[in-house]
């Protein structure tokens, strides 16, 4: 006779199986049904976290709302609810929940609720109450180097927002020093990845007939990839999947073993399943805006010749400052701790862009950030037509399918498009003279 523990394990194993098959909705529905009336806060937390990690933030928020209605609340649940509100663009709700989590005693090393406050608004007062919270936390010696780095990045943003550029640089320098205690950039691995990205690949699969196309929005981080993907998905024929890891995963998988027909088929099915998911009815295109998919374009074209790429580019100095001033969680972004490493990555990506555009001229469209923010309507129209779509009418455009955004740009993307970041790096040359080299170039 099955025990409670074995039944619980079977329930979770089934949910994970469904998710691994790309059936995200089914996986979440399975858990929501199994734990519709949780009496244990830790179970409710795990269910909601599973849904968030399955890119179903709205469903996770709705589930947690019912949990709170039952009188169940813990610091971790409050922090998770704040994070869900954050990625869904409910910034007032996020602030309320994140502060409640902090005052309830949430572990800052597990949930960085105070650094998250800086990404809920643009500050207009350098003595905003958040500054005192951040600096009090920094004075507390309990927190790890990772958390202290995030606190300093948040302080830097507050100073940047309020025009205190010298103070911003000081805070960001402290942030990088804390980060470099625990992380480092593997330059050799980066060179290997770029070299592999340049190599042409023959499919071996033959033409695969699918009624939809992968749409990859790539480019260096902070070059407008998240903004472009979000606005592209205003078209009713497109779905935005956010930043997905699966193309890079199958790219690495195929590089590690012989490219048999069986392996190519399995890799293709995995990638397409997680793009398509259990979307009914299907769309004409599914957007993946993982910026470093630029390292796997040959694999994408070989697995699906209908793949289309929009490659975002931005003024190199503005892009360098924007990356250097941002806290990135993934080790792939560790180069951003040093301006000289950012310059190396920019040069490699520029060279790769030239190679790919020459090789695939009809399948790659270059989008310049400055042109996009100054003329968004015409840029989007050009992008939609490149994808074989007529620009949507006003009625269609109003039915926006906006997804949760988990990238560093999530607050900016929810605002009206503006050009205030164009030329922002020029304000920093006094404190970061290295930027003058980019401007001179």
Beta strand pairing call for 285-288 and 308-313 = unpaired
What domains are defined for the chain?
4-106 (1.25.40.10), 192-426 (3.40.50.300)
Q: Is residue 243 within 8 Å of 173, Cβ to Cβ?
A: no
The predicted pLDDT at position 395 comes to 47
**223, two tokens:** 């070059």
Quote the tokens at residue 186: 């593997």
Q: CB neighbours (10 Å) of residue 332? A: 19
Please give the Cα distance from 82 to 87 (Å, whole number): 9
Q: Per-residue pLDDT averaged across 292-303, rounded? A: 95
Torsions phi, psi for 367 (to 5 deg): -115, 115
Per-residue pLDDT tens digits for 189-247: 999 999 999 999 876 665 566 778 999 999 999 999 999 999 999 999 999 999 999 99
The structure tokens listed for 362 are 């009809």
Q: What is the per-residue pLDDT for 211? A: 78
CA dihedral 102, 108, 113, 119 (to 10 degrees): 140
**CA nearest neighbour of 437 among 347, 349, 313:** 347
122-149 pLDDT tens trace: 999 999 999 999 999 999 999 999 999 9
pTM of structure = 0.93
Which tokens belong to 306? Answer: 């209908």
């Amino acid at each position: 006779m099955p025990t409670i523990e074995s039944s619980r394990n079977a329930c979770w194993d089934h949910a994970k199986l469904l998710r691994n098959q790309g059936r995200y909705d089914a996986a979440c529905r399975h858990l929501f049904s199994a734990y519709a009336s949780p009496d244990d806060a830790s179970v409710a937390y795990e269910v909601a976290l599973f849904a968030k990690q399955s890119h179903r933030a709205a469903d996770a928020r709705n589930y947690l709302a019912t949990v709170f209605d039952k009188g169940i609340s813990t610091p971790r649940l409050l922090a998770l609810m704040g994070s869900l509100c954050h990625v869904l663009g409910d910034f007032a709700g996020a602030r309320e929940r994140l502060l409640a989590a902090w005052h309830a005693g949430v572990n800052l090393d597990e949930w960085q609720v105070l650094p998250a406050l800086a990404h809920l608004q643009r500050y207009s007062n350098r003595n905003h109450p958040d500054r005192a919270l951040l600096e009090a936390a920094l004075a507390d010696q309990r927190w790890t180097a990772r958390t202290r780095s995030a606190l300093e990045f948040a302080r830097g943003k507050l100073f940047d927002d309020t025009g205190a550029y010298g103070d911003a640089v000081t805070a960001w320098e402290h942030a990088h020093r804390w980060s470099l205690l625990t992380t480092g950039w593997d330059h050799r691995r980066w060179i290997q990845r770029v070299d592999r990205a340049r190599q042409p690949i023959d499919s071996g699969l033959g033409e695969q007939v699918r009624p939809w196309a992968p749409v990859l929005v790539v480019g260096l981080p902070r070059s407008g990839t998240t903004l472009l993907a979000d606005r592209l998905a205003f078209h009713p024929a497109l779905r935005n999947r956010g930043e997905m890891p699966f193309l890079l995963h199958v790219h690495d998988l195929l590089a590690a073993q012989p490219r048999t027909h069986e392996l190519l088929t399995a890799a293709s099915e995995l990638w397409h399943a997680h793009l398509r998911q259990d979307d009914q009815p299907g769309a004409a295109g599914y957007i993946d805006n993982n910026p470093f998919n630029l390292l796997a374009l040959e694999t994408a074209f070989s697995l699906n010749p209908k793949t289309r790429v929009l490659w975002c580019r931005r003024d190199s100095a503005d892009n360098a400052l924007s990356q250097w001033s941002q806290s990135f969680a993934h080790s792939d972004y560790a180069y951003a701790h040093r301006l000289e490493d950012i310059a190396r990555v920019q040069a490699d990506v520029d060279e790769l862009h030239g190679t790919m555009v020459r090789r695939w001229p009809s399948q790659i469209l270059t989008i310049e950030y400055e042109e996009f923010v100054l003329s968004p309507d015409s840029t989007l129209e050009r992008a939609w037509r490149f994808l074989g779509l007529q620009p949507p009418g006003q009625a269609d455009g109003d039915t926006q399918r906006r997804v949760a955004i988990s990238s560093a740009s999530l607050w900016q993307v929810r605002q009206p498009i503006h050009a205030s970041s164009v030329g922002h790096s020029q304000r920093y040359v006094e404190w970061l003279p290295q930027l003058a080299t980019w401007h001179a170039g």
